[in-house]
Chains A and B, each alone.
Chain A
């Protein structure tokens, strides 16, 4: 396994600061903003963005957590011998109706997680708008999905693995590209 670091802890912090600034500017009225992290690493990223938004505007937006396992398209008949994903908390502390939801995830890849997240959110209410913020966009979209706020665009091949590590859940912080090396 060969790993190449593309963002260190400082790089992650800077990327989030820029994303938070862009988010505040695009939403206009920060009281409408509501951050929702996709389990698992989207959740701490959403919390960090919310703090940065609060620093900039004096208003701390609500933060929710979304588990999309029950809406995935790669379980059941499409992958019959695979285990079901372990379910995590879905917690939306306030109604999402008429809010500008910013979905937050660590990596944007095929776009299938985002599709599932949109369907999950729609079962909770009718937001005014949904935006998408990701720390890393690695390309290879399979669905017509694009992020509104991107920390870092990283060209990858499908054989590579993008590893996001955050201090909330891991022993290190940063973004790496990993690749199996033959022999």
Chain B
């Protein structure tokens, strides 16, 4: 599949991968490649978003994503405001919409939101003038994570098209897997997912990926293996007997990695549970690109902010 890059994003928001065309995905990735260079400069800052205000509205814990957005905002000269649910009026019972409307009354240009409820960013996008960026909504989507994963793969392999990508772990609670399956299949990669049957959501097979219940079947001959975190805090009831048993059946170990292609990339969105879903020898091994994913995350978020700042009316003649 060859895709002509769209010269612009059509929407005012980035609520998910689902609304993006292949051309828009390619535009974000191409722009991210250029954004990476800024981190190598003596002065790691450009004036592109000078005078823009970004509210980072995090209703759920996050280290990587929140820091990554904040670094991206600062590198583009935007002003960042950080909101955390524990120290805000949310603890006094204010609703999401009231919180967002009040913040918007202070005229921000962007609202980056992470929320435990699927669809929260979509609801804000409909009622707010600001551009809304989804930084993770429940078990639904995490678009910038999928974009940074795609960028990492593209930089290592040159393309996404025709690659086989295995995603293994807690599929039930993972927003990362949904955004990744949508993005990778849209860009011509073949996606296999695997996890314990108790952690495979109904309808997974209709998302355009192969579904397996043995990790070995998913990673055999794969170009990329992406491990998902076992979300111990989200397990309402135990979906597997013990962490040790999970490791025995589903962890990525050096022995299992041998089933994949010799140059297979090992990825993890973090935070890792070492010795649960991934063995330290693999996480720290030569095939691991886990820290490069973090570096690329900043570039992808810079690209999204930059492209959305371009406005979303009809294009004017130059």
> Which residues on A are within 8 Å of B, measured CB to CB?
67, 69-71, 75-77, 79-84, 86-90, 119, 123-125
Q: Is B43 an interface residue, CB under 8 A from the partner? A: yes
A-B contact number at CB 8 A: 71
What is the bound-complex CA distance between A119 and B43, given in angstroms? 12
B35 and A87 contacting across the interface, CB-CB below 8 Å = yes
B contact set with A: CB distance below 8 Å: 5, 7-8, 27, 30-31, 34-35, 37-38, 41-43, 45-52, 76, 306-307, 309-316, 318
Provide 13 A-B residue pairs closer than 8 Å at the C-beta atoms, listed in order of the A residue.
Answer: A70-B38, A70-B76, A71-B48, A77-B51, A81-B311, A81-B316, A83-B8, A83-B310, A84-B306, A88-B34, A89-B34, A90-B34, A123-B46
Give the shortest distance, in Å, between B304 (CB) and chain A (any CB): 11
A76 to B34, CA, bound (A): 19
| B42 near A123: Cβ-Cβ < 8 Å | yes
B270 nearest CB across to chain A (Å): 27
Closest Cβ–Cβ distance, residue A135 to chain B (whole Å): 21
Partner of A119, one of B27, B31, B47, B315: B47
Smallest CB-CB A-B distances: 4 pairs? A81-B313, A84-B310, A87-B34, A83-B8
Residues of chain A within 8 A of B38, CB atoms compared = 70
> What are the residues of chain A within 8 A of B52 when measuring CB–CB?
76
A76 touches B48 (CB 8 A): yes
Asked if B315 and A84 make an inter-chain contact with CB atoms under 8 angstroms apart, the answer reads no
Q: Is the interface of B mostly helix, strand, loop or mixed?
A: loop
B309 near A123 (CB under 8 angstroms)? no
Bound Cα distance A83, B318 (Å) = 10
Question: A70-B46, A84-B310 known; A123 and B41 CB under 8 Å?
Answer: yes
Q: How far is the CA of A76 from the CA of B309 in the complex (A)?
A: 6
In contact, A75 and B310 (Cβ under 8 angstroms):
yes
| Contact flag A70-B307 (CB < 8 Å), given A81-B315, A84-B8, A124-B41 | no
Q: Pick the contact of B47: A71, A83, A86, A124 (CB < 8 A).
A: A71
Question: Closest CB of chain B to A49's CB: distance in Å?
Answer: 24
Report chain B residues within 8 Å CB of A84: 8, 306-307, 309-310
Q: Known: A77-B51, A83-B8. Contact between A123 and B43, CB under 8 A?
A: yes
CB distance from A98 to the nearest CB of B (A): 14
Q: How far is the CA of A89 from the CA of B37 in the complex (A)?
A: 9
Q: Inside 8 A of B307's CB, which chain A residues have their CB?
A: 84
Bound CA span A51–B35, Å: 30
Instruction: Kindly list 20 other residue pairs between chains A and B, CB separation below 8 angstroms, not including A84-B309, A86-B7.
Output: A70-B46, A70-B47, A71-B47, A75-B310, A76-B51, A79-B316, A80-B311, A80-B313, A81-B312, A81-B313, A82-B316, A82-B318, A84-B307, A84-B310, A86-B31, A87-B31, A87-B35, A89-B37, A123-B46, A124-B43
Q: Are B34 and A82 in contact (CB under 8 A)?
A: no
Cα A75 to Cα B315 in complex, Å, equals: 13
A124–B46 alpha-carbon span in the complex (Å): 11
The answer to whether A81 and B314 touch across the interface, beta carbons within 8 angstroms, is: yes
CB distance from A88 to the nearest CB of B (A): 7
Q: Chain B's nearest CB lies how many Å from the CB of A121?
A: 11
Shortest Cβ distance from B43 into A: residue: A123
